[in-house]
Structure 1
Amino acid sequence: MNHDDAVPVRPLTLAWVGRHLDAGERIVKAEPLHGGITAEMRRLIIGTRGGGTRELVLRSYVDPFHLENAEDGLTGEAGALTMLAGTGVPTPSLVAVDPTAAQCEYPSLLMTHLAGRTVLDDTGVETRVRLLARQLVAIHAVCPAERPRKYTTLTTADTVVVPEGADAAVWAAAADVIRRPAPPYEGRFLHRDFQPGNVLFDVPPSNPEGARITGVIDWAGPSWGPADLDVAHCSAVLALLHGPAWGLRFADAYEEAGGVLAASESERLYWRVRDALAASEEVRSVSQPWREAGRTELTTRAVEERLDAYVAALMDAPG
């Protein structure tokens, strides 16, 4: 293996990967994958016994800030990938996992590589929103033999970060919404970070309307909870990435695809506002990968303004 290509993957981890390859296979190249926030991602090119190649993906938690959650994240992802095999939800296949770094330098997971790419530009967003909604309905229809852990939410009314120049009264009213107890709900299997950055598409260059989903990735937080929570999260990300109108549109697209949300508008508002306010704490970390992916206009300030407009639209909605 070329030494320069080996640099992104550490020696113990390389040896661990090698033990999970088929006889006669070898790692010939490692390439960084960009866009992740919590973990280091590498695409590994594997030389096969017959002279061809195949690809695997290596996820390693190396940032000290995220290491404390590595074991839970990798264990959850390994369990989700195993459970989802054969369900029709397009996910990578699990190859191996070392959640406590017993054999690798850092906690790591090895999985198959899926075709397709994340698509973050505005062109074709209407088609992709419909596809995202259908895919999320299919995820929520999965009935695992063993339920994952109950969902968690960390944001409180007191941790919300109000954007500069925002209407303080509107944000105070939004914060009051999540001071209330969570509404009752019918549990569903949740992804918990379902959004455009974690969905792979095949988009014909000459026909954006012919896009199709090839994979759903990043299953570190599978949970049991209300469908509204996954819908609210994807809605908030769409609002920041493509504009508030698309955040408001996603819930309708989900229902049009056959999904079922909370019965009352006040219950729906609770989940949507909760996730929108959670985004206020992550604007900088979320927007940076988008700029690195080519959306250079999405400065931290621009994303804050979109979030402010989205929260105002939610609080102004009928009901």
Structure 2
Amino acid sequence: MSRHLEAGERIVRTEALHGGITAEMRRLTIRTRDGGTRDLVLRTFVDVEHAEDGLNREAGALILLTGTDGTSGADGADGAGEFSGTGGARVPAPGLVAVDPTAARCEYPSLLMTHLPGRTVLDDEGVATRVPLLARQLVAIHAVRPAVRPPEYVAWTTADTVVTPQGADAAAWAAAIDVIREPAPPYEGRFLHRDFHPGNVLFDMEHPDPAGARITGVVDWPAASWGPADLDVAHCSTNLALLHGPAWGPRFAEAYEEAGGVLAATASERLYWRVRDALAFSEDVRLVARSWRETGRTELTARAVEERLDAYVTALMAAPG
């Protein structure tokens, strides 16, 4: 850490940030030479199996997005692989300070980045105002045109690893699993966040009117990928369906198109990506529910989230077309 602080600076406080699943996050308060403070964020992968790939992807994404919304990163940050060229899209991402993807200098693989203002908002109140903001932000992410593409997306589930929830609509789930047994539809590739959802978006909520909310940051980029826009839309849709109720999944997809985003041409292609993402949650319901409860949504027990997932999958399979 000290290698990347200014002369005379020191860490005076650390604070654990909650809600993450794959890594530990800490906010570090730095005392500056003039007596003021500034904050950095340290991501640490304790489970190192996918750490090197994830940290290289995140470092590349943060370098790519530097300057797209007033952010700045450190030149020549250690170990970073770069995706260059943003096409003018506005994406408020952290700036990269340093990365150690193989734990050459740290106890565990780690990435140090700038701290962005704002906070995550997962409450039901105001969701109708936030959904269009999320949709417009995702359209901006997909407008990024990297000169060098990030790695291809990785599927997060297979037909053979899906866990059908207890008491679920067996016929609907069997039909959904059959959907993802088919080959993936052809698609026009886009730059993907790949884990875009309300828990990875920061809002300025200081305005007394909920309509005055604005996005101040998009964080958590270790899964940055190249793939179909539908996959990012599907992931945010599933998260919204589980957080706020099944109807919010389709509503987000509609908001994305209303914001100018382009999805797959046919209903069957769109269904494939939405089902693939929804079924992936069946394997991690307990982890997802626990992370949301840590942020204050105490009513979202594993069973409650399972029931919403069942309702969402059933609704997807019953939708016309």
How many angstroms apart in 2 are the aligned matches of 1:18 and 1:73?
Answer: 23
1:205 CA drift (Å): 5.7
Q: In the TM superposition, what whole-angstrom CA distance separates every residue of 1:223-244 from its partner, at most 9, and x where no partner exists?
A: 1110000000000010001110
What's the TM-score, normalizing by structure 1?
Answer: 0.93
1:18 CA drift (Å): 1.1
1:258 CA drift (Å): 0.2
Q: 1:59 aligns with which of 34, 43, 55?
A: 43
Q: Which residue in the other structure is 1:13 paired with?
A: none
Q: 2:232 aligns with which of 230, 233, 254?
A: 230
What SS is found at the alignment partner of 1:252? helix
How many angstroms apart in 1 are the aligned matches of 2:42 and 2:179?
Answer: 40
How many angstroms apart in 1 are the aligned matches of 2:150 and 2:3?
Answer: 30
How many angstroms apart in 1 are the aligned matches of 2:45 and 2:151?
Answer: 21
Aligned AA for 1:207? D
How many angstroms apart in 2 are the aligned matches of 1:154 and 1:166?
Answer: 21
Q: In the TM superposition, what whole-angstrom CA distance separates every residue of 1:192-229 from its partner, at most 9, and x where no partner exists?
A: 00000100001136212211000000000111110000
Spell out the pairing of 1:167-206 with structure 2 (5 A cutoff). Answer: 167-204=169-206, 206=208
What SS is found at the alignment partner of 1:146? coil
Q: State yes or no: 1:144 paired with 2:160.
A: no
Q: Indicate if the aligned counterparts of 2:207 and 2:213 stay in contact, CA closer than 8 A.
A: no
What SS is found at the alignment partner of 1:244? coil
How many angstroms apart in 2 are the aligned matches of 1:192 and 1:231?
Answer: 9
Q: Which residue in the other structure is 1:4 paired with?
A: none
Number of residues of Structure 1 aligned to a counterpart in Structure 2 = 300
1:78 CA drift (Å): 0.5
1:292 CA drift (Å): 1.2
Q: 2:8 aligns with which of 24, 31, 36?
A: 24
Aligned AA for 1:196? P
Spell out the pairing of 1:33-182 with structure 2 (5 A cutoff). Answer: 33-62=17-46, 66-87=47-68, 88-182=90-184
What SS is found at the alignment partner of 1:37? coil
CA RMSD of aligned residues (A): 0.8
How many angstroms apart in 1 are the aligned matches of 2:209 and 2:112?
Answer: 33
Aligned AA for 2:295? A
What's the TM-score, normalizing by structure 2?
Answer: 0.92
Q: 1:263 aligns with which of 265, 268, 276?
A: 265
Gaps of 5+ in 2: 69-89
Aligned AA for 1:128? R
How many angstroms apart in 2 are the aligned matches of 1:133 and 1:205?
Answer: 20
How many angstroms apart in 2 are the aligned matches of 1:158 and 1:102?
Answer: 37
What SS is found at the alignment partner of 1:302? helix
Aligned AA for 2:215? I
Q: In the TM superposition, what whole-angstrom CA distance separates every residue of 1:170-206 from its partner, at most 9, and x where no partner exists?
A: 1000111111110000000000000001000011362
Q: Which moved more, 1:33-42 or 1:197-206?
A: 197-206
Runs (4 or more) in structure 1 with deviation over 6 Å come to none
